[in-house]
Amino acid sequence: MSEKDLGQKWDRCLADSAIKFGTGLGLGIVFSVVFFKRRTWPIVFGSGLGLGMAYSNCQNDLRSHYVLHSKVAKEQ
Amino acid sequence: MAAKILPVIKFATKVTIAGGALYVAYDSGLLGDGKEGSVALGRAKAAVPPAVEEWMKYFGFELPATPKIEFSPLDAWNSGVQKSIHALSVAPSTVSDYTKQGFQYVKDLTK
């Protein structure tokens, strides 16, 4: 993996983390106001979910260079 | 009869709102891959100026033009990293120079 690819992957990771954190926060706020009587824990839970999804995406993206990719041949 | 249905309607409204928010997030690719996320971010950035203009026309007043910020965090960070590492790499020779100068100064004082 070249330095340029690595840099782009890290940029994608950071942007993705920000987006997922914001989405999780927003959805947490919506759920907290609508269902859970404006408590704090859905907001924290949503943000945590977002960060976790971003971490998992980053991990897969950074590993994808070293993982064997295969295709299933169609049966004739 | 209305009193019995009202809680059900309230609950159904809440489910609709929350489910709608969840569906919008899923549909715009915010919950998907990193690449989809950056596509969604690009779309949002492109959609903000026309939306702001629409709101301005609706309300009938002009927002002050956003000042163009010339600061780039990426460049600042990169130059910061380069300067720190350069400083670390020349640190031993700089320290030895300063100690030599210090010794020379003290020697000159004691002459």
Q: Which pLDDT score is estimated for B70?
A: 75
Q: What is the pLDDT of residues A16-74, one digit of tens each?
A: 898 899 999 999 999 999 998 889 999 999 999 999 999 999 999 999 889 888 888 88
Residue A37 region by backbone torsions, left for phi larger than 0, else alpha for psi between -120 and 50, else beta: left
- For residue A13, how many other CB atoms are within 10 A of its CB? 18
Return the residue in B30, B41, B75 with the most chain A beta carbons within 10 A, the one to mutate for interface testing: B30
**Confidence category of residue B88, pLDDT binned at 50, 70, 90:** very high
Q: What is the pLDDT of residue B71?
A: 77
- pLDDT band (50, 70, 90) for residue B63: low
Task: Give this prediction's pTM.
Answer: 0.66
According to the model, what pLDDT value does residue A27 have? Answer: 93
pLDDT above 90 covers a percentage of chain B that reads 40
Residues in chain B: 111
Burial-class residue A24 by CB neighbours within 10 Å (0-12, 13-18, 19+): buried
* Residues of B whose CB is below 8 A from A20: 30-31, 37
| Confidence band of A15 (pLDDT split at 50, 70, 90) | confident
Query: Is the predicted pLDDT of residue B73 greater than 90, yes or no?
Result: no
The answer, yes or no, to whether ipTM is higher than 0.90 is no
pLDDT of B27 above 90:
no
The phi and psi torsions of B42 (rounded to 5 degrees) equal -60, -40
The Cβ of residue B14 has, within 10 Å, a number of other Cβ atoms equal to 14
* CA–CA separation, B11 and B7 (whole Å): 6
Smallest CA–CA distance, residue A22 to chain B, in Å, is: 10
Is pLDDT above 70 for B65?
no
Query: What is the distance in angstroms between the Cα of B65 and the nearest Cα belonging to chain A?
Result: 26
Mean pLDDT for B37-64 is: 76
